[in-house]
Structure 1
Amino acid sequence: MSNAIAQDLMTIADIVEATTTAPIPFHITAFDGSSTGPEDAQYKLHVANTNAVSYIATAPGDLGLARAYLMGDLLVEGEHPGHPYGIFDALQEFYHCFKRPDATTSLTIMRTLRKMNALKFQAIPEMEQAPAWRKALINGLASRHSKDRDKKAISYHYDVGNEFYELFLDTSMTYTCAYYPTPDASLEDAQENKYRLIFDKLRLKPGDTLLDVGCGWGGMIRYAARHGVKAIGVTLSEQQYRWGYEEIARQGLSDLAEVRFMDYRDVPEKDFDAISAIGIIEHIGVGNYSDYFELLNSKLKPGGLMLNHGITYPDNRPRHAGAFIDRYIFPDGELTGSGTVIKHMQDNGFEVLHEENLRFDYQRTLNAWCENLKAKWDEAVELVGEPTARLFGLYMAGSEWGFAHNVVQLHQVLGVKLDERGSRGDVPERMWWTV
């Protein structure tokens, strides 16, 4: 950085060069006509206006970049917005390029940002949720996973619109990790195979009863009902409930399958033969795991089986998901390691029989969803608007990248409720299902 530049106002390219170590993985152009970075870079970023600078300057990191991208103020060339997978490698490299400028240059940057009016807070994108600390001030700390707040959090993500989800999910409307019988299997076959795996792990047979907590659009309970099991599913998403109710009736399964718009904590029935929990634990809160597993244990017969299927971290160190995930994807969502899940199952009446990591299956699942969204991009934008369509593309592609790089995992944990004598009844000693 020359003394002349340090004393005068800077261009956007000057600011990038002053805060990074070359080479950076992007070619960056800006509204002021400046540019920097390799011209042959695979990805090109265009800072379209001062709004983009404001978003990034007032919320450094993922949150500011996401706001600018979602609002169309930061443009990306080189990848489709419905599936921007590869850019996450470039972003990781970009983050490693950042450096702290000297004091004189920092003052010049601040003076430049003030001059272009880029230090003002922009209007928050309308789909962004309030941060957790603000919700706590409004609702009280004790209400973080109250029934009302959980209902609002679930509705935020899952009530975007059934027609939108139909664009990228398979015909069963399953929004959880599939289980691929072969790497090149179709998404629909892989989701059916996932339900088959869970059904078999739970040793379900005609005449048994199943409770599916966090049932989504009802894929698991419809699968169970088609195989003669009396199944009840509960969801806090009204749109999922309505779609699931109509699909159960359409398939002629109403005698065996029932979906309820209900909190799992309010289910009155007990003595189920099995419980499936597919993608709900991410919304429970780590501090509530004991109550969660204790309650579900109380709903089972002795010898009854429970399968918990959920996203985890690859270790058990506590951490926050980050502002982007909390404000845009899963408000109040929390993850932990599979060891923590197993500990709380064991501490609350379950003998853990088996666990496995399906992270590569979730990588394939997310890839399929992204490709479907990419193929139906124009319809998605028409249905929900470009910012929301971009949000889902960004989230799903980022998650695909995360599973591929072991940032997150997907664990199925199978447990049995023991009787008072410590017996698991007729549950076999060895694995009884086929992979």
Structure 2
Amino acid sequence: MNAPVQDTARVAARGSGPLALFGRFFHRQLDRLDQGIDAGSLEVFTPDGQARLLGGSAAGPATTVTLRSWRALVRLATGGSAGWYEAWEKGEWSSPDPVQLFALFSHNRAGLAAQARARGLSLLPRRLMHWLRRNHRGGSRKNIAFHYDLGNDFYTPWLDPGMSYSSAIFRDADEALEAAQDTKLQAILDRTATRPGDTILEIGCGWGSFAELALRRGRKLHGITLSTEQKAWAEARTAGLEGARFTLTDYRDVDGQYDAVASIEMAEAVGREFWPAYVSAIARALKPGGRAALQVITFDDALFEGYARNVDFIQTYVFPGGMLLRESEFRALAEAEGLEWQERHAFGLDYAETLRRWRARFDAAAAEGLLPPQFDERFVRLWRYYLMYCEGGFRGGGIDVIQMTLVKRG
């Protein structure tokens, strides 16, 4: 297959320079990508004017990529997913639908895993930086502030009116985002099996969307967070409701016991090193027979060790210290603490749709000038890429989101 003449001339011109001499080497790299794609396809327009179809042997995600410089493949080979973002930011590759590209990589994660990971000398400084950002007590505060304390004015233009920054649960394709978020919150409350007058500990209370629902249903709630911005918002939205308390508290410092615990997409901010402490905090906080309702994002169990040894795009640029969960390992920790794992529900495609809705709202807010002026175009592009990257991961199945209930043995 050959690229159209006008595209060939334009792309070939961009491929000139020292790296163009190594064209055969880069085509061999594309050969390895081709061998790793079992389903779906990727049409690649290369800097030397060729058009190559990778994969295509079975149905799956399909898209095209234009490589404007071979340097993009250098960054992918050395920096993995973080390097691939760096190449995109520098204009070294483009695609009409990056979501499908990320879905393709996610769908073919077993065959392409090595291509998405940093290696060699590039990996060492990334791992050092990730280690320096680990979630000990001081690090947790810094990492949470890095992501959540960008300012409430940044998040309000593109989240739903309830300010839920976690996956919704859609009952049908046309359901409004706010209604789907309410469905998710109600599902978490139902899992606690609490009654009016009972007290719930919420670990990672966000902007208070679950707290408001629980309080309106007659529960009392202690919400803990490390984000000053979120704490202020949660207090303001629940000011007229009785039974609310919000504190800047590390989960490791929780004392006392509660009728139930809720934690929505908080575990991803803990880090593998501190999963035992997080699970232990839940177990200590629950009264015998109490239930913890959790919503967590998981990574493919079979490929987790490679992911854990790497430092990916999100850990590098968006959420320092973060790590998705290995479900089997997390479940074993919970059961060792006397917590029975019940009522698992996975809904990864709902997260993909949530992210698609967020991105549409984010793009509209950026176009209308509704984002705070301190965030420049490069920052806006980073967050657009982040939303596309995550959506593709869920669509491809490499990551998932689940709700489960942990019941403390009496």
Q: Provide TM-score, normalisation by structure 1.
A: 0.73
Q: Distance in 2 between matches of 1:57 and 1:405?
A: 19
Distance 1:9 1:288, change over 3 A: closer
Alignment of 1:57-206 (within 5 A): 59-70=78-89, 72-74=90-92, 76=94, 78-79=96-97, 84-89=98-103, 131-134=126-129, 136=131, 144-206=134-196
Task: State the shift of 1:387 in Å.
Answer: 2.0
Alignment of 1:19-34 (within 5 A): 19-21=29-31, 25-28=43-46
- Deviations 1:119-152 (Å, cap 9, x if unpaired)? xx9xx9xxxxx7342464xx5xxx8331101111
Q: Distance in 2 between matches of 1:11 and 1:132?
A: 31
Q: Is the 8 A contact 1:303 1:418 kept in 2?
A: yes
Q: Distance in 2 between matches of 1:149 and 1:374?
A: 31
Q: Distance in 1 between matches of 2:400 and 2:106?
A: 19
Residue 221 of structure 1 aligns to a residue whose secondary structure is helix
**Which residue matches 2:362?**
373
**What is the aligned counterpart of 2:342 among 341, 353, 357?**
353
Q: Distance in 2 between matches of 1:406 and 1:65?
A: 20
Residue 384 of structure 1 aligns to a residue whose secondary structure is coil
Q: Distance in 1 between matches of 2:329 and 2:285?
A: 22
Distance 1:77 1:284, change over 3 A: closer
Task: Identify which range, 317-326 or 183-192, moves more after superposition.
Answer: 317-326
State the AA in 2 paired with 1:78: P
Distance 1:14 1:382, change over 3 A: farther
Q: Distance in 1 between matches of 2:163 and 2:292?
A: 23
Q: Is the 8 A contact 1:164 1:383 kept in 2?
A: no
Residue 175 of structure 2 aligns to a residue whose secondary structure is coil
**Which residue matches 1:274?**
260
- Deviations 1:389-417 (Å, cap 9, x if unpaired)? 22222222222121122101112121222
Task: State the shift of 1:45 in Å.
Answer: 3.2
State the AA in 1 paired with 2:68: V
**What is the aligned counterpart of 1:262 among 210, 232, 249?**
249
Task: State the shift of 1:38 in Å.
Answer: 6.5
Q: Distance in 2 between matches of 1:200 and 1:227?
A: 11
Kindly indicate whether residue 284 of structure 2 is the aligned counterpart of residue 301 of structure 1: no
Once superposed, what is the RMSD of the aligned Cα atoms? 3.5
Q: Distance in 1 between matches of 2:88 and 2:183?
A: 36
Q: Is the 8 A contact 1:13 1:28 kept in 2?
A: no
Residue 294 of structure 2 aligns to a residue whose secondary structure is strand
Distance 1:203 1:135, change over 3 A: closer
Distance 1:42 1:383, change over 3 A: farther
Q: Provide TM-score, normalisation by structure 2.
A: 0.77
Kindly indicate whether residue 20 of structure 2 is the aligned counterpart of residue 11 of structure 1: yes
Structure having the higher helix fraction is 2
Task: State the shift of 1:46 in Å.
Answer: 6.0
**Which residue matches 1:335?**
324
**What is the aligned counterpart of 1:213 among 195, 203, 221?**
203
Q: Distance in 1 between matches of 2:277 and 2:252?
A: 10
Distance 1:57 1:293, change over 3 A: closer
Q: Is the 8 A contact 2:254 2:281 kept in 1?
A: no
**Which residue matches 1:248?**
238
Distance 1:55 1:240, change over 3 A: farther
**Which residue matches 2:393?**
402
Q: Is the 8 A contact 2:188 2:294 kept in 1?
A: no
Q: Is the 8 A contact 2:202 2:223 kept in 1?
A: yes
Residue 85 of structure 1 aligns to a residue whose secondary structure is helix
Q: Is the 8 A contact 2:292 2:405 kept in 1?
A: yes
Task: State the shift of 1:382 in Å.
Answer: 4.6
Task: State the shift of 1:160 in Å.
Answer: 2.2
**Which residue matches 2:115?**
none
**What is the aligned counterpart of 2:403 among 388, 405, 412?**
412
**Which residue matches 1:110?**
none
Percent identity of paired positions between Structure 1 and Structure 2? 27
Question: Which consecutive residues of structure 1, in runs of 5 or more, have no partner in the other structure?
Answer: 1-7, 98-120, 125-129, 420-435
Kindly indicate whether residue 226 of structure 2 is the aligned counterpart of residue 236 of structure 1: yes
Question: Which consecutive residues of structure 2, in runs of 5 or more, have no partner in the other structure?
Answer: 1-16, 35-40, 54-61, 113-120
Q: Distance in 2 between matches of 1:213 and 1:93?
A: 32
Q: Distance in 1 between matches of 2:102 and 2:174?
A: 24
Q: Distance in 2 between matches of 1:326 and 1:77?
A: 23
Q: Distance in 1 between matches of 2:190 and 2:326?
A: 25
- Deviations 1:364-398 (Å, cap 9, x if unpaired)? 21121122223223234855222222222222222
State the AA in 1 paired with 2:375: V
Task: State the shift of 1:44 in Å.
Answer: 5.2
Distance 1:57 1:204, change over 3 A: closer
